Amino acid sequence: MNGKNGAVSARQGAKLSSCWCGETAGTDSRHPAYVVCPACGTARLRDVAARGQGVVNGETGIYSADYWGRHQEEDLGLPSIEERAVNDLPERCMHWLSLLLRHVLPPACVLDIGCGHGGFVKLCKMAGFQSTGIEMAAEIVRFAQDAFGVEVRRGPLADLDLHFGAQHLGVCMFDVLEHLPDPLAQVQDLLQRGTGRVTLIVQTPEFTDSMSDSMFAVPEHINLFTRRAVSEMLGRAGFAHVEFAESCFQDDVTAVASNMPIRQNTEAAVAEALLATGDGRVLNATRTLAARLGQVKARNHLIEDGDGLGISWSFRQLLRGLRRRLFPH
Protein backbone atom coordinates (compact mmCIF):
# COMPACT_ATOMS: atom_id res chain seq x y z
CA MET A 1 0.00 0.00 0.00
CA ASN A 2 1.62 3.24 -1.09
CA GLY A 3 1.50 6.13 1.34
CA LYS A 4 2.82 9.67 0.99
CA ASN A 5 5.97 10.11 -1.11
CA GLY A 6 5.63 6.55 -2.42
CA ALA A 7 6.54 5.16 1.01
CA VAL A 8 5.21 1.70 1.73
CA SER A 9 4.12 1.16 5.31
CA ALA A 10 2.78 -2.35 4.77
CA ARG A 11 1.18 -4.41 2.05
CA GLN A 12 -2.29 -5.69 2.59
CA GLY A 13 -2.12 -9.03 4.33
CA ALA A 14 1.67 -8.99 4.70
CA LYS A 15 3.90 -7.46 7.36
CA LEU A 16 6.61 -5.21 5.97
CA SER A 17 10.08 -6.30 7.03
CA SER A 18 12.55 -3.92 8.71
CA CYS A 19 15.91 -3.01 7.21
CA TRP A 20 19.16 -4.22 8.80
CA CYS A 21 19.78 -0.54 9.72
CA GLY A 22 16.61 -0.41 11.82
CA GLU A 23 14.53 1.59 9.33
CA THR A 24 10.95 0.35 9.10
CA ALA A 25 9.81 2.28 6.02
CA GLY A 26 10.53 1.33 2.42
CA THR A 27 9.76 2.60 -1.08
CA ASP A 28 8.87 0.51 -4.11
CA SER A 29 11.77 -0.87 -6.14
CA ARG A 30 11.67 -2.08 -9.75
CA HIS A 31 10.98 -5.60 -8.43
CA PRO A 32 7.65 -6.18 -6.63
CA ALA A 33 9.21 -8.40 -3.93
CA TYR A 34 11.74 -5.76 -2.80
CA VAL A 35 11.50 -2.34 -1.13
CA VAL A 36 14.28 0.24 -0.90
CA CYS A 37 15.32 1.64 2.49
CA PRO A 38 15.06 5.45 2.52
CA ALA A 39 17.79 5.64 5.20
CA CYS A 40 20.61 3.46 3.82
CA GLY A 41 19.57 2.57 0.25
CA THR A 42 19.50 -1.23 0.74
CA ALA A 43 16.87 -3.14 -1.24
CA ARG A 44 15.31 -5.80 0.99
CA LEU A 45 12.72 -8.52 0.66
CA ARG A 46 9.47 -6.77 1.48
CA ASP A 47 7.64 -9.69 3.03
CA VAL A 48 8.67 -10.93 6.47
CA ALA A 49 7.32 -14.41 5.68
CA ALA A 50 9.45 -14.67 2.51
CA ARG A 51 12.55 -13.75 4.53
CA GLY A 52 11.72 -16.57 6.92
CA GLN A 53 12.20 -19.07 4.09
CA GLY A 54 15.87 -18.24 4.16
CA VAL A 55 16.17 -19.86 7.57
CA VAL A 56 19.56 -21.42 7.87
CA ASN A 57 18.77 -25.09 8.15
CA GLY A 58 21.40 -27.05 6.32
CA GLU A 59 19.40 -30.22 5.80
CA THR A 60 15.94 -29.01 4.78
CA GLY A 61 16.27 -25.25 4.28
CA ILE A 62 17.29 -23.45 1.12
CA TYR A 63 20.99 -24.05 1.78
CA SER A 64 20.68 -27.81 1.91
CA ALA A 65 22.47 -30.06 -0.57
CA ASP A 66 19.42 -29.52 -2.81
CA TYR A 67 20.45 -25.85 -3.12
CA TRP A 68 23.73 -26.86 -4.72
CA GLY A 69 22.19 -29.69 -6.72
CA ARG A 70 18.71 -29.43 -8.15
CA HIS A 71 18.11 -25.72 -7.41
CA GLN A 72 21.35 -24.32 -8.90
CA GLU A 73 21.30 -26.63 -11.90
CA GLU A 74 17.61 -26.93 -12.78
CA ASP A 75 16.08 -23.69 -11.46
CA LEU A 76 18.94 -21.30 -12.21
CA GLY A 77 20.70 -23.15 -15.06
CA LEU A 78 24.06 -22.86 -13.26
CA PRO A 79 26.90 -25.40 -13.38
CA SER A 80 26.95 -28.30 -10.90
CA ILE A 81 29.12 -28.18 -7.78
CA GLU A 82 31.44 -30.75 -9.44
CA GLU A 83 31.95 -28.44 -12.44
CA ARG A 84 32.40 -25.41 -10.22
CA ALA A 85 34.98 -27.30 -8.15
CA VAL A 86 37.04 -27.37 -11.37
CA ASN A 87 36.23 -24.11 -13.14
CA ASP A 88 36.08 -21.68 -10.19
CA LEU A 89 39.72 -22.28 -9.24
CA PRO A 90 41.54 -20.54 -12.11
CA GLU A 91 38.84 -17.86 -12.22
CA ARG A 92 37.21 -16.40 -9.10
CA CYS A 93 39.24 -18.37 -6.52
CA MET A 94 42.56 -17.04 -7.89
CA HIS A 95 41.12 -13.51 -7.97
CA TRP A 96 40.04 -13.84 -4.34
CA LEU A 97 43.39 -15.27 -3.31
CA SER A 98 45.25 -12.31 -4.84
CA LEU A 99 42.93 -9.94 -3.01
CA LEU A 100 43.37 -11.79 0.29
CA LEU A 101 47.17 -11.86 -0.04
CA ARG A 102 47.22 -8.12 -0.67
CA HIS A 103 45.84 -7.60 2.85
CA VAL A 104 46.59 -10.78 4.83
CA LEU A 105 49.80 -12.82 4.72
CA PRO A 106 50.35 -16.49 5.65
CA PRO A 107 50.52 -18.09 8.18
CA ALA A 108 47.46 -16.13 9.41
CA CYS A 109 44.15 -17.92 10.03
CA VAL A 110 41.52 -17.69 7.29
CA LEU A 111 37.84 -18.42 7.68
CA ASP A 112 35.83 -18.88 4.45
CA ILE A 113 32.16 -18.53 5.33
CA GLY A 114 29.88 -20.24 2.80
CA CYS A 115 32.84 -22.04 1.23
CA GLY A 116 30.77 -24.24 -1.14
CA HIS A 117 32.99 -26.84 -2.84
CA GLY A 118 36.02 -25.82 -0.77
CA GLY A 119 38.36 -24.88 -3.64
CA PHE A 120 39.23 -21.49 -2.17
CA VAL A 121 39.91 -23.06 1.25
CA LYS A 122 42.38 -25.34 -0.53
CA LEU A 123 44.16 -22.46 -2.29
CA CYS A 124 44.46 -20.68 1.07
CA LYS A 125 45.88 -23.83 2.64
CA MET A 126 48.42 -24.15 -0.20
CA ALA A 127 49.38 -20.51 0.29
CA GLY A 128 50.30 -21.33 3.90
CA PHE A 129 47.20 -20.03 5.70
CA GLN A 130 45.52 -22.03 8.45
CA SER A 131 42.25 -22.16 6.54
CA THR A 132 38.81 -23.35 7.62
CA GLY A 133 35.63 -23.40 5.56
CA ILE A 134 32.06 -23.25 6.83
CA GLU A 135 29.06 -24.70 4.98
CA MET A 136 25.51 -25.46 5.97
CA ALA A 137 24.72 -28.94 4.61
CA ALA A 138 26.50 -32.09 5.82
CA GLU A 139 26.63 -33.42 2.23
CA ILE A 140 28.39 -30.29 0.93
CA VAL A 141 30.78 -30.31 3.90
CA ARG A 142 31.70 -33.90 2.95
CA PHE A 143 32.05 -32.93 -0.72
CA ALA A 144 34.58 -30.19 0.13
CA GLN A 145 36.48 -32.46 2.52
CA ASP A 146 36.67 -35.26 -0.06
CA ALA A 147 37.41 -33.07 -3.11
CA PHE A 148 40.12 -30.93 -1.58
CA GLY A 149 41.14 -32.51 1.74
CA VAL A 150 40.46 -29.29 3.64
CA GLU A 151 38.98 -28.51 7.04
CA VAL A 152 35.32 -27.61 6.70
CA ARG A 153 32.95 -27.16 9.64
CA ARG A 154 29.21 -27.39 9.47
CA GLY A 155 27.61 -24.02 10.32
CA PRO A 156 26.08 -21.64 10.96
CA LEU A 157 29.04 -19.82 12.51
CA ALA A 158 26.93 -18.73 15.49
CA ASP A 159 26.71 -22.41 16.56
CA LEU A 160 30.47 -22.99 16.36
CA ASP A 161 32.97 -22.51 19.15
CA LEU A 162 35.63 -21.07 16.84
CA HIS A 163 38.14 -18.59 18.27
CA PHE A 164 41.45 -17.56 16.81
CA GLY A 165 43.20 -15.65 19.61
CA ALA A 166 45.63 -12.82 18.88
CA GLN A 167 46.70 -14.09 15.45
CA HIS A 168 45.73 -12.07 12.37
CA LEU A 169 42.35 -13.45 11.27
CA GLY A 170 41.18 -13.08 7.67
CA VAL A 171 37.49 -13.70 7.09
CA CYS A 172 36.11 -14.15 3.57
CA MET A 173 32.43 -13.82 2.75
CA PHE A 174 31.97 -14.22 -0.98
CA ASP A 175 28.33 -14.19 -2.14
CA VAL A 176 27.12 -14.66 1.43
CA LEU A 177 26.09 -11.27 2.87
CA GLU A 178 22.99 -10.99 0.67
CA HIS A 179 21.68 -14.30 2.06
CA LEU A 180 21.90 -13.42 5.77
CA PRO A 181 18.69 -12.68 7.70
CA ASP A 182 20.55 -10.41 10.18
CA PRO A 183 23.76 -9.33 8.43
CA LEU A 184 24.75 -6.69 11.00
CA ALA A 185 24.68 -9.15 13.93
CA GLN A 186 26.51 -11.79 11.91
CA VAL A 187 29.26 -9.39 10.84
CA GLN A 188 29.55 -8.10 14.43
CA ASP A 189 30.04 -11.69 15.58
CA LEU A 190 33.20 -11.96 13.44
CA LEU A 191 35.02 -9.41 15.60
CA GLN A 192 34.45 -11.61 18.64
CA ARG A 193 36.30 -14.50 16.97
CA GLY A 194 39.75 -12.97 17.41
CA THR A 195 41.48 -10.73 19.93
CA GLY A 196 43.89 -9.11 17.44
CA ARG A 197 43.62 -7.81 13.89
CA VAL A 198 40.57 -9.04 11.97
CA THR A 199 40.42 -8.37 8.23
CA LEU A 200 37.15 -9.07 6.48
CA ILE A 201 36.70 -9.34 2.71
CA VAL A 202 33.13 -9.16 1.45
CA GLN A 203 31.79 -9.67 -2.06
CA THR A 204 28.07 -9.13 -2.60
CA PRO A 205 25.78 -7.96 -5.44
CA GLU A 206 25.74 -4.16 -5.71
CA PHE A 207 22.27 -2.64 -5.83
CA THR A 208 22.30 -0.08 -8.64
CA ASP A 209 19.89 1.05 -11.36
CA SER A 210 21.83 -1.03 -13.89
CA MET A 211 22.04 -4.19 -11.73
CA SER A 212 20.96 -7.37 -13.51
CA ASP A 213 17.38 -8.49 -12.72
CA SER A 214 18.74 -11.95 -11.84
CA MET A 215 20.08 -10.47 -8.58
CA PHE A 216 16.49 -10.09 -7.39
CA ALA A 217 16.51 -13.74 -6.29
CA VAL A 218 13.56 -14.58 -4.05
CA PRO A 219 13.86 -15.77 -1.30
CA GLU A 220 17.65 -16.26 -1.28
CA HIS A 221 18.76 -12.66 -1.66
CA ILE A 222 17.29 -11.03 1.42
CA ASN A 223 19.30 -7.79 1.11
CA LEU A 224 20.88 -6.10 -1.91
CA PHE A 225 23.33 -3.48 -0.69
CA THR A 226 24.52 -0.24 -2.19
CA ARG A 227 28.19 0.66 -1.76
CA ARG A 228 27.21 3.18 0.91
CA ALA A 229 25.13 0.59 2.78
CA VAL A 230 28.02 -1.93 2.79
CA SER A 231 30.34 0.72 4.19
CA GLU A 232 27.82 1.86 6.81
CA MET A 233 27.07 -1.67 7.96
CA LEU A 234 30.72 -2.68 8.31
CA GLY A 235 31.42 0.54 10.21
CA ARG A 236 28.48 0.00 12.53
CA ALA A 237 29.61 -3.59 13.16
CA GLY A 238 32.94 -2.28 14.50
CA PHE A 239 35.16 -2.38 11.42
CA ALA A 240 36.61 1.12 11.71
CA HIS A 241 38.49 0.91 8.40
CA VAL A 242 36.72 0.09 5.13
CA GLU A 243 37.87 0.38 1.54
CA PHE A 244 36.61 -0.96 -1.77
CA ALA A 245 38.46 -3.30 -4.11
CA GLU A 246 38.09 -4.47 -7.69
CA SER A 247 35.37 -7.12 -8.07
CA CYS A 248 35.68 -10.30 -10.09
CA PHE A 249 32.20 -9.75 -11.56
CA GLN A 250 30.45 -6.66 -12.87
CA ASP A 251 27.34 -6.80 -10.67
CA ASP A 252 29.28 -7.09 -7.40
CA VAL A 253 30.77 -4.75 -4.85
CA THR A 254 33.86 -5.92 -2.95
CA ALA A 255 34.92 -4.36 0.35
CA VAL A 256 37.93 -4.89 2.60
CA ALA A 257 37.35 -4.00 6.25
CA SER A 258 39.40 -4.19 9.42
CA ASN A 259 39.36 -3.20 13.07
CA MET A 260 42.86 -1.73 12.50
CA PRO A 261 44.30 0.31 9.58
CA ILE A 262 44.14 -1.90 6.47
CA ARG A 263 47.45 -3.45 5.42
CA GLN A 264 48.65 -3.20 1.82
CA ASN A 265 51.20 -5.94 1.18
CA THR A 266 53.65 -5.42 -1.67
CA GLU A 267 54.06 -8.08 -4.40
CA ALA A 268 57.54 -8.75 -3.01
CA ALA A 269 56.14 -9.41 0.48
CA VAL A 270 53.47 -11.71 -0.98
CA ALA A 271 56.08 -13.67 -2.97
CA GLU A 272 58.33 -13.98 0.09
CA ALA A 273 55.45 -15.35 2.17
CA LEU A 274 54.48 -17.87 -0.54
CA LEU A 275 58.06 -19.08 -0.98
CA ALA A 276 58.12 -20.21 2.67
CA THR A 277 56.51 -23.57 1.76
CA GLY A 278 56.63 -26.03 -1.15
CA ASP A 279 52.92 -25.66 -1.96
CA GLY A 280 53.30 -21.90 -1.72
CA ARG A 281 56.13 -22.04 -4.28
CA VAL A 282 53.85 -23.88 -6.74
CA LEU A 283 51.13 -21.30 -6.13
CA ASN A 284 53.62 -18.49 -6.68
CA ALA A 285 54.57 -20.06 -10.04
CA THR A 286 50.87 -20.26 -10.99
CA ARG A 287 50.41 -16.58 -10.14
CA THR A 288 53.48 -15.65 -12.17
CA LEU A 289 52.19 -17.65 -15.14
CA ALA A 290 48.76 -16.00 -14.90
CA ALA A 291 50.38 -12.55 -14.79
CA ARG A 292 52.50 -13.34 -17.87
CA LEU A 293 49.45 -14.60 -19.79
CA GLY A 294 47.67 -11.40 -18.78
CA GLN A 295 50.55 -9.33 -20.18
CA VAL A 296 50.48 -11.22 -23.50
CA LYS A 297 46.72 -10.75 -23.72
CA ALA A 298 47.03 -7.04 -22.94
CA ARG A 299 49.75 -6.68 -25.62
CA ASN A 300 47.56 -8.38 -28.24
CA HIS A 301 44.65 -6.20 -27.20
CA LEU A 302 46.79 -3.07 -27.69
CA ILE A 303 47.62 -4.17 -31.24
CA GLU A 304 43.95 -4.97 -32.03
CA ASP A 305 42.92 -1.64 -30.54
CA GLY A 306 45.53 0.36 -32.44
CA ASP A 307 42.87 2.80 -33.66
CA GLY A 308 42.36 4.09 -30.15
CA LEU A 309 46.06 4.90 -29.92
CA GLY A 310 46.20 6.82 -33.20
CA ILE A 311 48.28 4.07 -34.90
CA SER A 312 47.87 4.00 -38.68
CA TRP A 313 46.26 1.09 -40.57
CA SER A 314 49.52 0.17 -42.35
CA PHE A 315 51.50 0.16 -39.09
CA ARG A 316 48.88 -2.11 -37.52
CA GLN A 317 49.24 -4.53 -40.46
CA LEU A 318 53.00 -4.54 -39.89
CA LEU A 319 52.50 -5.31 -36.18
CA ARG A 320 50.03 -8.12 -36.99
CA GLY A 321 52.53 -9.65 -39.43
CA LEU A 322 55.28 -9.50 -36.83
CA ARG A 323 53.01 -11.07 -34.24
CA ARG A 324 52.14 -13.96 -36.58
CA ARG A 325 55.85 -14.61 -37.09
CA LEU A 326 56.75 -14.38 -33.41
CA PHE A 327 53.68 -16.23 -32.09
CA PRO A 328 52.66 -18.60 -34.93
CA HIS A 329 50.13 -20.41 -32.69
Binding site for Zn ion (CB under 5 A): 19, 21, 23, 37, 39-40, 42
CA separation for the pair 205, 250 (Å, rounded): 9
Q: Which is nearer to Zn ion, 39 or 218 (CB)?
A: 39
Taking the least distance from each CB to Zn ion, the nearer of 31 and 153 is 31
State in angstroms the smallest separation of the CB of 176 from Zn ion: 19
> Nearest approach, Cβ of 76 to Zn ion (angstroms)?
27
Residue 310 sits at φ, ψ, to 5 deg, of: 75, 20
CB of 15 to Zn ion, least distance (A): 17
Among residues 164 and 239, whose Cβ is nearest to Zn ion? 239
- Exposure of 269 by Cβ count < 10 A (0-12 exposed, 13-18 middle, 19+ buried)? middle
How does strand 169-174 pair with strand 198-205?
parallel
Shortest Å distance, C-beta 329 to Zn ion: 54
Nearest CB to Zn ion, comparing residues 22 and 90: 22
**What's 321's DSSP letter?**
H
Report, in this order, helix, strand and coil percent for the chain, each rounded to 5. Answer: 45, 20, 40
Least distance CB 39 / Zn ion (angstroms): 5
Tell me whether residue 19 or residue 93 sits nearer to Zn ion (CB atom): 19
Which of 30, 64, 113, 59 minimizes the C-alpha distance to 220? 64
